[in-house]
Amino acid sequence: MPTINDVARAAGVSPSTVSYVLSGRRPISAQTRARVQAAIAELGFHPHAGARALASSKTNVLALVVPLRVDVNVPVIMQFATAVVTAARTHNHDVLLLTKDEGTSGLERVAHSTMVDALIVMDVEKDDVRIPALRRLKQPTVLIGLPGDPAGIVCVDLDFAAAAAETLRHLAWHGHRKIALVGPSPSVYRRGTSYAERFLAGFTEASAELGLETMTHPCEPGQAGVRECLADIDAELPGVTALVVHNEEALRPLLDQLRSAGRRIPEDISVVAVCPRDVALGMPIPLTSVDIPSHDVGGLAVETVMKLLDGRHTESVRLLPPTLVERESCASPAS
């Protein structure tokens, strides 16, 4: 592999001049810079990442912290990860994916080893134990999520409270008055996961404002969990005419069980999902949904962390407004 000395000989300059062209730390004449860049291209020289980091105090690496817990929907998480990686490449940054649930120890290990320039943290909880440690790090951090106390840290996400209100307004517009929320698994609520709590709060508040008769029920993924959830809903809210499903893994078994019970969608019961667009479109019936904008949120997280690295001003909390897309799973309730 060619070295910096090979580039210097080919360009007729010193190795230090090549280094300055690469780092931009000293002004170099346009003619000399052009000779060095031509030699780099001809030889196929790639500067060593570690040496470049030592020279510039930058690694051009972002950490994406996303603990893959048992109650996490991995395909959805990977949509966010793909969005972060794609956006980071446009800024000439790579992404280090941290998936182990290590609490604060993993964050501090990576930050103190100077492996990354900044961190993007997912799966945020209302009382997240990682937040105090993140506030102490020298590297900037952006959360995809919103803790109970976001002071001193930058957050981006979908506005889940507004998303819940949008689903109820849409169903109320269709004439539904009895509506149940099929929520995430109980463990998601027990952990105080931010997005689930915000959606639940928005659902409860909008229900009261609209004068609806509603109930909420966590749902374990899989056929047994969905069967129990639907049975409880029918027992506690007889005559329910619409479901809001905030649980991607429960969607297909829920649709299967409604069909097996002879409950037609949307003639007998309407369904609004909160999920990525491809999930809503991939169901046996295209679902009306509030789409989870993983591409937009992931891209916004990267753009925000780049602003922080450049010392530019950024909003401390940025929540994207929800977009509800009408498809084929909603209609007025049967008389």
Question: If you average pLDDT over residues 292-296, what whole number do you get?
Answer: 95
Classify residue 125 by its DSSP letter: B
**3-state class percentages of the chain: helix first, strand second, coil last, to nearest 5:** 45, 15, 35
Helix (H, G, I), strand (E, B) or coil at 264: coil
pLDDT tens for residues 102-140? 777 777 787 777 788 999 999 999 999 899 989 988 889
Dihedral pair phi/psi, residue 20, rounded to 5°: -70, -35
Residue 289 has pLDDT above 70, yes or no: yes
Burial class (CB in 10 A: 0-12, 13-18, 19+), 57: exposed
Question: If you average pLDDT over residues 63-82, what whole number do you get?
Answer: 87
Burial class (CB in 10 A: 0-12, 13-18, 19+), 5: exposed
Domains of the chain by start residue, with CATH: 4-47 (1.10.260.40), 61-158+295-320 (3.40.50.2300), 160-292 (3.40.50.2300)
Distance, in Å, from the CA atom of 249 to the CA atom of 251, rounded to the nearest integer, reads 6
Contact 187, 153 (CB under 8 A): no
What is the structure's pLDDT at 235? Answer: 97
pLDDT tens for residues 27-69? 888 889 889 988 888 888 876 555 555 455 678 899 999 888 7
| 62-101 exposure pattern, b = at least 16 Cβ within 10 A, e = fewer | bbbbbbeeebbbeebbebbbebbbebbeeeebebeebbee
Shortest CA distance to 178 belongs to which of 245, 274, 269, 263? Answer: 269
Distance, in Å, from the CA atom of 240 to the CA atom of 322, rounded to the nearest integer, reads 25
Q: Model confidence at 166, in pLDDT bands (50, 70, 90)?
A: very high
Contact 272, 167 (CB under 8 A): yes
Q: Which H/E stretch holds residue 41?
A: helix 30-43
71 or 316, greater pLDDT: 316
Which residues share a beta bridge with 271?
243
Which residues share a beta bridge with 274?
290
pTM to 2 decimal places: 0.82
pLDDT tens for residues 264-275? 999 999 999 999
Distance, in Å, from the CA atom of 298 to the CA atom of 84, rounded to the nearest integer, reads 5
pLDDT tens for residues 228-287? 999 999 999 999 999 999 999 999 999 999 999 999 999 999 999 999 999 999 999 999
Six-digit token string for 214: 């509603």
pLDDT tens for residues 6-27? 999 999 999 888 888 877 667 8
**Strand ranges (DSSP E) for the chain?**
61-65, 94-98, 118-121, 141-144, 154-158, 178-183, 213-218, 242-245, 270-275, 288-291, 317-320, 324-325
β-pairing, 324-325 with 154-158? unpaired
pLDDT tens for residues 177-199? 999 999 999 999 999 999 999 99
Shortest CA distance to 118 belongs to which of 69, 154, 146? Answer: 154
